[in-house]
């Protein structure tokens, strides 16, 4: 089976690469056409995708799927279609004084065949988002869908085969063995979204072919509430960011730092917020299930381990039947909330809350850990905000908000260090999936022959001129 699948993958890849060689620089009109086809696919089958994603999770609100997957997917499609012509144009660059009147420019060129490995938590958006950028850049694209969202994977694969030619976009289903064969293909660029541990394996496999990679890896994204900031507003935005998709979001707040002594205020506000957001958590379909039994057991184990280590565990909702895989939001108070299994990205509705004495201590706490994908700062002191930004390193930041920086088309999205490599979204995604070719155009009036041998007094005088301090 593995050999057959590998041959199938290889055949699909070769079809994409051959097509890219036949048409290495698709016109703006052709790129807009492909983006339009993708938009039609999404719009005409929205309800089918809503149903398939709900089935994969066991329960996820159709409103949440439309707001968190369809809205950003369609929005980025519109953004790319309107701007792709401008992104494609050669970009003028300044030429060094000594080389004038020559001209310099950068020409964006399609890479060819691009691979995308999509995760299960937003199984449609995390496939479509990179696909939009890669198609805008003029590439052919092959997507490996997550086996943990099999209904969505099967639906997307079927529809892509109906809407696109096989040498334009190809969608692959399958488990770990298929994924391993997929990332070993000699793509011209490979984008992977998932855990840091798997990302290491992906990078290792890509290195065999010297395939450049973009890795979106998540991590421990902190939220910090500054002294004096209105607790009610901060908690509302943090809990909204934490409970969407039941915390199964790569940039969900992973832990919260609050001024020492205000932990009880945070808990009280969190109770009110959750009661308002999900007044009937057990009976409502608004609150998502955990994707599968393995992740559900992992999260329960994390809570039990933190409690055994001394963390105070506060449940912000009812205990729900385990067969529903619905886990109420839990707060873990104290430093024990980051013990054992919680040292890794939580990826669920568990939120450690830790007190800090001063700004220096909060910054040191964040910097003592791997650099996060996102940082959330709640502070109205402009000078202090600048310090949070200057003295910490994170892939992206939202000030007095959570999540929203990812929705800005003109901001790059990506991690740093253990939280990822590279970035995409909008023009940054177009550039990621393009070769930015440097071009130097010599003038007829060039004086470079003055530097030709045989060397002598003429070159000595020129070097004295160009090397002067």
**Ramachandran angles phi, psi of 216, nearest 5°:** -110, 105
For residues 216 and 118, is the Cβ–Cβ distance under 8 A? Answer: no
For residues 289 and 58, is the Cβ–Cβ distance under 8 A? Answer: yes
Q: Catalytic one among 64, 216, 263, 345? A: 216
Q: Which two tokens stand for residue 181?
A: 């064969």
Q: Which residues contact 22 (CB under 8 A, 6 or more apart)?
A: none
Distance of CA 455 to the CA centre of its chain: 55
Q: Which residues contact 339 (CB under 8 A, 6 or more apart)?
A: 305, 306, 309, 311
Q: Which two tokens stand for residue 141?
A: 């694209």
What 230-235 contacts at long range (C-beta under 8 Å, 24+ apart), as own/partner pairs, is 231/262, 231/265, 231/266, 231/269, 232/269, 233/378, 233/400, 234/378, 234/400, 235/266, 235/269, 235/270, 235/273
Cβ-count burial 326-343 (b if 16+ within 10 Å, e if not): bbbbbbbbbebbbbebbe
For residues 413 and 423, is the Cβ–Cβ distance under 8 A? Answer: yes
Q: How far apart are CA 180 and CA 270, in angstroms?
A: 42
250 is catalytic: yes
Q: Which residues contact 211 (CB under 8 A, 6 or more apart)?
A: 115, 186, 187, 188, 189, 190
For residues 145 and 157, is the Cβ–Cβ distance under 8 A? Answer: yes
Q: How far apart are CA 49 and CA 74, in angstroms?
A: 14
Q: Catalytic one among 250, 269, 302, 345? A: 250
**Which is nearest to 424 in space by CA: 442, 409, 440, 405?**
409
44 is catalytic: no
Q: What is the largest CA-CA distance in the chain?
A: 90
Residue 120 three-state SS: coil
Catalytic center residues: 216, 250
């Amino acid at each position: 089976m593995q050999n057959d699948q590998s041959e199938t993958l290889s055949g699909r890849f070769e079809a994409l690469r051959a097509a890219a060689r036949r048409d290495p620089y698709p016109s703006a009109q052709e790129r807009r056409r492909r983006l339009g086809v993708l938009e039609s696919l999404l719009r005409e089958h929205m309800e089918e995708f809503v149903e398939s994603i709900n089935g994969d999770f066991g329960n996820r609100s159709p409103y949440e799927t439309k707001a968190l997957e369809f809205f950003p997917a369609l929005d980025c499609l519109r953004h790319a279609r309107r701007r792709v012509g401008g992104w494609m144009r050669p970009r003028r660059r300044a030429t060094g004084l000594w080389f004038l009147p020559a001209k310099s420019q950068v020409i964006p060129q399609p890479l060819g065949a691009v691979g995308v490995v999509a995760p299960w938590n937003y199984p449609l958006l995390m496939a479509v988002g990179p696909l939009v950028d890669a198609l805008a850049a003029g590439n052919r694209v092959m997507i490996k869908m997550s086996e943990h969202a099999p209904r969505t994977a099967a639906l997307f694969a079927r529809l892509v085969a109906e809407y696109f030619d096989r040498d334009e976009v190809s969608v692959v289903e399958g488990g770990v063995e298929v994924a391993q064969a997929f990332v070993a293909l000699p793509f011209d660029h490979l984008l992977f979204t998932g855990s840091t541990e798997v990302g290491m394996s992906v990078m290792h496999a890509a290195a065999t072919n010297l395939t450049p990679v973009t890795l979106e890896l998540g991590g421990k994204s902190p939220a910090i509430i500054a002294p004096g900031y209105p607790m009610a507003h901060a908690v509302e935005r943090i809990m909204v960011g934490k409970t969407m998709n039941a915390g199964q979001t790569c940039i969900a707040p992973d832990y919260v730092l609050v001024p020492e002594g205000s932990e009880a205020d945070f808990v009280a506000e969190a109770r009110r917020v959750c009661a308002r957001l999900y007044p009937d958590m057990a009976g409502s379909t608004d609150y998502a299930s955990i994707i599968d039994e393995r992740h559900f057991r992992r999260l329960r184990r994390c809570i039990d381990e933190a409690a055994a280590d001394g963390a105070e565990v506060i449940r912000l909702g009812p205990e729900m039947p385990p067969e529903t895989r619905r886990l109420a939001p839990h707060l873990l108070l104290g430093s024990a909330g980051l013990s054992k299994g919680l040292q890794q990205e939580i990826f669920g509705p568990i939120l450690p809350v830790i007190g800090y004495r001063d700004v220096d201590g909060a910054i040191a706490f964040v910097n003592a850990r791997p650099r996060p994908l996102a940082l959330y700062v709640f502070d109205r002191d402009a000078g202090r905000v600048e310090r949070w930004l200057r003295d910490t390193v994170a892939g992206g930041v939202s000030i007095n908000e959570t999540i929203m920086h990812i929705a800005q088309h003109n901001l790059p999205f990506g991690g740093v260090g253990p939280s990822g490599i590279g970035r995409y979204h909008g023009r940054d995604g177009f550039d990621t999936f393009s070769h930015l070719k440097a071009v130097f155009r010599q003038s007829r009036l060039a004086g470079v022959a003055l530097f030709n041998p045989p060397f002598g007094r003429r070159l000595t005088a020129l070097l004295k001129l160009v090397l002067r301090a």
